Amino acid sequence: MAGMRKGLALPRGETRLGTEHKDAAWSYPTPYPSAFDRVGKDFSVYVAFAPGVTITD
């Protein structure tokens, strides 16, 4: 798993217009402390999105 350098990633999915989009977003709610040094800040409250995902209101 690519994210193991940061901690355990929690995949998130969404169903839109009847189509399920698995693993389109993920987060690291409890990152490894060493990951903060690599990233430069605490990213535990952020959600990352896969390429091609568009966020709209």
- Is residue 49 a contact partner of residue 24, using CB atoms and an 8 Å limit? yes
pLDDT score, position 38: 87
pLDDT score, position 57: 67
Taking only the tens place, the pLDDT of each residue in 6-54 is 665 656 655 555 666 666 788 888 888 888 888 899 988 888 888 877 7
- Is residue 26 a contact partner of residue 8, using CB atoms and an 8 Å limit? no
pTM of the model as a whole? 0.56
